[in-house]
Structure 1
Amino acid sequence: MLEPAYQADVVIVGAGVSGLSAAQRLNSAGVSTVVLEAAPCVGGRATTEKVDGFRLDHVGRFLSTSYPELRMTPGLDGLVLRTFAPGVLVHADGRMHRAGEPASAGGARGALDAARALVSPPRRARQAPQAAAPAVSRAFPPLGGALDQARLAAALGRTAAVPVERLLARPERPAGQALAARGMPARTVEGFLRPLLAALLCDPDLTTSSRVADLALRAFASGRLCVPEGGADALPELLAGALPAGAVRTGVRVTSVSTTSVTTAEHGEFRCRSVLVATGASAAAELLPGLRVPRFHPVTVFHHTSDEAPLREAALLLDADRRGPVAHTAVVSRVDPTRAPAGRALISSTVLGPPPADADRTVRAHLAALYGTSTHRWELLAAHHTPQAVPAMPPPHDVRRPVRLLAGLYVCGDHRDTGTVQGALHSGHRAAAALLRDLGAGSVSAATPLRAPTAA
């Protein structure tokens, strides 16, 4: 027999970042909420596997300290952000180069001095034998000279200062085309901007809307790349833990929804005043026929461990040469020491797409070239392939897609906003605001940020 029906003002289907964000805002406004999740744990794609003291993210998306929703979402006061070193490292023409660090405040001369520092090679963990570098086919020097770096720093500074609404009003085209049309030197575009945006958007071909790419560059230029301490699942677990006991119910599979009820496979009917579908796009379309399902960018993440870190810095390393499957890699244990047991290094590397043939050997060979050290003794801990990792956002892309379908039925998720953690949080924020308006309840002010999460 089915269990008795449950009662709540709002039933949220899906305990990912967007659904939990909405639940927190509704709960803060005094609206009783039940969150139903089919999986055995919360988080959705923000999943972290625990293996022998290692914490291994399945998708490995980056956050930025400039994300406003991290400061404005109730329940995230205890979030600790572990930051990468300023800027990034770029592997180009067989060497590592610094790029994207903020220029000093001393005007043009200061920007030029900073640019000269950016092109110096970083310190290595040790003098390791260099792997044989492939022949370089590009005709321009990697990343350009000091003047190019100064121009890049100035361009990033201008992007950081542009209001979001002005960015969203710009003409829209594929990001790759927009980069080529903005007058930046080809070496700057190919050596830095293209690999950086590919990493931030999980889109190696840069088919993403130029407006979304501008938002990503703005977040990069105005903050620091970071990850949650302890793994990607720390963020949804904090949100879930701050809700009242019993508000989140895992292992509950929803089969249909209406404006006043949710039907589940094994747990009966949940009656309510409104329903919010906060699943991934494909699952949402099964519950809401006619909902548009975007294409997705697949992502494969390889986690290796070694007894010695191949890089001293807590830096993100991008591959501008594109001579192997790895788009970007980092010694994640340098960024967040809680992700690896003492005495071990955790190296996490992302392939934008499906895993290559003979995956471990191919990825190891590419990592050996990127880090300039042997990877023969590295141990593969896990390889996670996520076919629907990030919704594709080609132009035209509405970054504020409607979250209210009709009174009593709502939808949210990164497929309704931007395909980032910021987008997922903001989508939940918008859905909660729409629900509160329709229910005639109070609201949480978006203009008053809460205490910022701790950055370490």
Structure 2
Amino acid sequence: MAQDVDVVVVGAGVAGLAAARHLTGAGLTTAVLEAAPHVGGRMSTEKVDGFRLDRLGRLLSTSYPELRHTPGLDALVLCPFSPGVLLHSDGHRHHTGTPGTPRSARGALTTARALASAPRLPLSRPTRGTARPGPLGGPLDQSRLSAALARLASTPPERLLTRPDLTAAKALTTRGLPARTADAFLRPLLAALLCDPELGTSSRCADLALHSFATGRLCLPEGGADALPELLAAALPPGTVHTGVEVTAVSTTRVTTKDHGELRCRAILLATGARAAAQFLPGLHVPAFHPVTVLHHTTDEPPLTEPALLLDADRSGPVAHTAVVSQVDPARAPAGRALISSTVLGTPPAAAHLDVAVRAQLARLYGTSTSRWELLAVHHEPEAVPAMPPPHDLRRPVRLLAGLYVCGDHRDTSTVQGALHSARRAAHALLTDLDVRPAAPSAEPLESAA
């Protein structure tokens, strides 16, 4: 490693890599130090026998502004789910759509499927049979939900942030929707978007999540979650990223590593998780965390041919949401095999019983036997997603003092969008302090990129 650089970024997750891309684009020499042997942090993908298995499987949206504002992501390909979601209720699956016309991300960001050609789905209809009522109540209830989502989609994020900040669970009772509709659709949807099964999250953050859902399409990066950080790393100048380098101490002008000596610099940006950042910066806020467990199964025939996100409105088991991700992104499984990825939120059952309970629930959700499915991997992350209880500050400071900055999903919203936005905020503050002009100022102000 060079002994003198302008900026040292500690951590090569998506926030650290995005910040480094903003900084190098402005002409600053930058070194990104990562203790792990690979980039990506929690946004990593395990490769097993031709399968690509995400460790967390976080859902993205084509409406995320930072996917457009982060340089280096022009080649990112997003694989969209079907419009809306599938709800399993009382033994039947129901399509539940979103209002308006789905929009894809602007600019060079592309999708693996043409969003404009996707057929619109009615708000709720059974996938088989027509006599049974949907889980959202009668036509009037469905119309109210459609109107509520349409209003949310047309409301600027800045206005959403002026609403009273309650828990998401409490806010559901104040939206003027029937309890059945809120419980059967909004509760499981928000749990999936926020990784929070109890919905103790700030209602403002929940509204932002629903706004993204209503104005875009849920999607996955083609080839695995690690496609995003790998694109960012590849866009940096050669020699910028150094993996396997453990940082032991930081100051405003010097970084000490375990086995690679010291690195002098003009500024330091901490882009680790909240707990790791607090080890370097005593007193830094460390939030509670939501645990997430992802199970990956494979079989020879897909149990569902539609590229849909399937939610359990009945909450009949540990799985919050599941999908045949090889139907969403064929690159994630070898030819002739189907990959089913299922997410368990909160503390999972004991390891000895987890797969048994998950298989039983998936058999109900997909309407097929799962006894012959092969379990490929179980990934458990106890500190997967920083909690955002109310009142939640969506703009935690990224400038601690001149020369010392911090970014990550614990500074904004606990999403990929939040991590990327915090990176842009931190890079902007650092460049301002060093009196360096950004190479290409974003067309969208930092304050409005919720």
Q: Same fold per TM (> 0.5)?
A: yes
What residue number does 1:18 align with? 15
User: Helix, strand or coil: the match of 2:4?
Assistant: strand
User: Helix, strand or coil: the match of 2:392?
Assistant: coil
User: What letter corresponds to residue 342 of structure 1 in structure 2?
Assistant: A
Q: Is the 8 A contact 2:9 2:269 kept in 1?
A: yes
After superposition, where does 1:59-98 map in structure 2 within 5 Å?
59-98=56-95
Q: Is the 8 A contact 1:115 1:147 kept in 2?
A: no
Q: Residue 427 of structure 2: which of 424, 432, 445 is its match?
A: 432
User: Helix, strand or coil: the match of 2:187?
Assistant: helix
What residue number does 1:422 align with? 417
User: What letter corresponds to residue 442 of structure 2 in structure 1?
Assistant: A
Summarize deviations over 1:96-120 as a string: whole Å, max 9, x none: 1111333579xxxxxxxx9993332
Q: Is the 8 A contact 1:296 1:391 kept in 2?
A: yes
What residue number does 1:336 align with? 329
Q: Residue 222 of structure 2: which of 216, 229, 252 is its match?
A: 229
1:102 to 2:99 alignment: yes
Q: Residue 156 of structure 1: which of 149, 165, 175 is its match?
A: 149
Q: Is the 8 A contact 1:87 1:102 kept in 2?
A: no
Q: Distance in 2 between matches of 1:364 and 1:184?
A: 33
What residue number does 1:120 align with? 125
Alpha carbons of structure 1 residues 334 and 116: separation in structure 2 relative to 1, 3 Å: closer
What residue number does 1:298 align with? 291
Q: Distance in 2 between matches of 1:94 and 1:344?
A: 26
Alpha carbons of structure 1 residues 104 and 202: separation in structure 2 relative to 1, 3 Å: closer
Q: Distance in 2 between matches of 1:388 and 1:15?
A: 17
What residue number does 2:338 align with? 345
Q: Is the 8 A contact 1:318 1:328 kept in 2?
A: yes
1:55 to 2:46 alignment: no
1:376 to 2:381 alignment: no
What residue number does 1:129 align with? none
Q: Is the 8 A contact 2:72 2:232 kept in 1?
A: yes
What residue number does 1:130 align with? none
Identity among equivalent pairs (%): 71
Alpha carbons of structure 1 residues 268 and 123: separation in structure 2 relative to 1, 3 Å: farther
Post-superposition offset of 1:95: 1.3
Q: Is the 8 A contact 2:123 2:146 kept in 1?
A: no
Higher RCO (Cα < 8 Å, 6 or more apart):
1
User: What letter corresponds to residue 225 of structure 2 in structure 1?
Assistant: A
Alpha carbons of structure 1 residues 440 and 72: separation in structure 2 relative to 1, 3 Å: same
1:33 to 2:38 alignment: no
Structure 2 gaps, min length 5: 103-118, 446-450
What residue number does 2:266 align with? 273
Q: Distance in 1 between matches of 2:337 and 2:232?
A: 30
TM-score, normalised to structure 2, is: 0.91
Q: Residue 282 of structure 1: which of 275, 278, 284 is its match?
A: 275
1:445 to 2:441 alignment: yes
Post-superposition offset of 1:123: 5.9
Alpha carbons of structure 1 residues 95 and 415: separation in structure 2 relative to 1, 3 Å: same
Q: Distance in 2 between matches of 1:57 and 1:152?
A: 32
Summarize deviations over 1:412-453 as a string: whole Å, max 9, x none: 00000000000000000000000000000012312169xxxx
Post-superposition offset of 1:396: 0.7
Summarize deviations over 1:168-227 as a string: whole Å, max 9, x none: 111101000001111111111011000000000000000000000000000000000001
What residue number does 2:303 align with? 310
Q: Distance in 1 between matches of 2:214 and 2:33?
A: 37
Summarize deviations over 1:23-64 as a string: whole Å, max 9, x none: 011111111111000000000000100000000000000000
Post-superposition offset of 1:70: 0.2
Post-superposition offset of 1:147: 2.1
Q: Is the 8 A contact 1:100 1:152 kept in 2?
A: no
Q: Is the 8 A contact 2:167 2:389 kept in 1?
A: yes
User: What letter corresponds to residue 323 of structure 2 in structure 1?
Assistant: A
After superposition, where does 1:249-260 map in structure 2 within 5 Å?
249-260=242-253
TM-score, normalised to structure 1, is: 0.90
Summarize deviations over 1:300-348 as a string: whole Å, max 9, x none: 0000001000111000000111110000000000000000001100000
Q: Distance in 1 between matches of 2:170 and 2:442?
A: 34
User: What letter corresponds to residue 446 of structure 1 in structure 2?
Assistant: S
Alpha carbons of structure 1 residues 23 and 141: separation in structure 2 relative to 1, 3 Å: same
Post-superposition offset of 1:152: 1.2
Alpha carbons of structure 1 residues 351 and 291: separation in structure 2 relative to 1, 3 Å: same
Q: Distance in 2 between matches of 1:141 and 1:29?
A: 54
Q: Distance in 2 between matches of 1:252 and 1:57?
A: 24
Q: Distance in 2 between matches of 1:399 and 1:428?
A: 13
